[in-house]
Amino acid sequence: MATTLQSVGLTALGGLLWSGYSDEVKASPLVLRPPSALPENDFLKACIKCGLCAEACVNRDSNKNRDGSKRDGTLQMAKGGDHKLIGTPFFIPRETPCYMCDDIPCVPVCPSGALDMKSLLDEKEELDINKAKMGLAVVHKESCIAFWGIQCDACYRACPIQGEAITIEHQMNERTGKHAYLLPIVHSDICTGCGLCEKACVTEKPAIFVLPRKYSTGKAGNHYVKGWDEKDQQRVKDAKEIHTKDERSEKEASDYLNMGVEY
């Protein structure tokens, strides 16, 4: 009896330590996953860490140098020290970006469903890598030399969906009065997050880089609607009036506005 109690107690102790550790190690938000990966939380559940995606990536026919030697694959399997959930696939664009293969070798081999092939199928039920949403490229305009007025369109030219995911916006350079800025603008509805732009960027530390979408996008919310856009209005067609009641709403607006604000 006492032994059983001790076993149960020690198991509970182990369970607490184990749960705490596991919960910490799954917190690796800034990680880019293969195409069509489920949202990070589901992906961490579903990925069985088999590495079939990474093996398909590195061994694809197109992954060869001109002399026939094999190149590094895009997908790496997280090792101890990578500070990602161990055994899960990820990529680092500035080392090796995703080349967005037409046949997407990494996705159909996934046995567990962590990579959701259905999300990459187009209307004709064919694989379309342009539908991938691995991340979103973000431009840091203070270090992007195009924003300084120096001509560079390396990211624009590297982009596999050229002229759609990144466009060049022309602006007059007031400083010289006779030159143009050629500014790279990323369009988040098209960008797949492959990272070819980040790899191509000429600055010492890339001024354009891919972040997981969760961290590189905002959300306007239902308060803000494009009144000139019928489609956008559909977004809030079921919205209901919300009344917020708190201490302040009992008073007249003019009362508390004149009294100063307590934070």
Partner 1 sequence: MKNMKYLLLRRVTQFTILFLYFGANAYGWHMLEGTFGSSRLFGFIPLADPYTTVQVLASGFVLGADVLLGALIITIFYMVVGGRAFCSWVCPINLVTDLANWLRRKLKLDREEVNYRFLKRRTRYWIMVLGIIVSAIVGISAFEVFSPITIMQRGIIFGFGAGISVIIAIFLFDLFGVKNGWCGHLCPLGAAYSLIGSKSLIRVEHNHENCTNCMGCKVVCPENQVLHMINKSSISVTDGECTNCGRCIDVCNDDALEFSIRKFLK
**Minimum CB separation from partner 1 for residue 25, in Å?**
6
Closer CB to partner 1, residue 48 or residue 168?
48
Q: Is 153 exposed, middle or buried (0-12, 13-18, 19+ CB in 10 A)?
A: middle
Q: What residues contact residue 143 under an 8 Å CB cut-off, 6+ apart?
A: 203, 205, 207
- Least distance (Å) from partner 1 to the CB of residue 112? 5
46 vs 168, which CB is nearer to partner 1? 46
52 φ, ψ (degrees, to nearest 5)? -65, -35
CB of 215 to partner 1, least distance (A): 20
What residue ranges bind partner 1 (CB under 8 A)?
6-7, 10-11, 14-15, 18-19, 21-23, 25-26, 41-42, 44-46, 48-52, 54-55, 58-59, 76-77, 79-82, 85-87, 109-113
Minimum CB separation of residue 92 from partner 1 in Å reads 14
What is the closest distance, in whole angstroms, from the C-beta atom of residue 86 to partner 1 in the complex?
A: 7
CB of residue 27 to partner 1, shortest distance in Å: 11
Token duo for residue 111: 């046995």
Tokens in use for 116? 């959701």
The amino acid present at 57, given as its one-letter code, is C
In whole angstroms, what is the distance from residue 248 CA to residue 226 CA?
A: 30
**Least Å distance between CB 48 and partner 1?**
4
Distances (CA, A) of 223 to 37, 217, 242: 31, 17, 11
C-alpha 192/C-alpha 160 separation (Å) is 9
What is the three-state SS of 96-111?
CCCCCCCCCCCCCCCC
Instruction: Judge residue 166's burial from the number of C-beta atoms within 10 Å of its C-beta, 0-12 exposed, 13-18 middle, 19 or more buried.
Output: buried
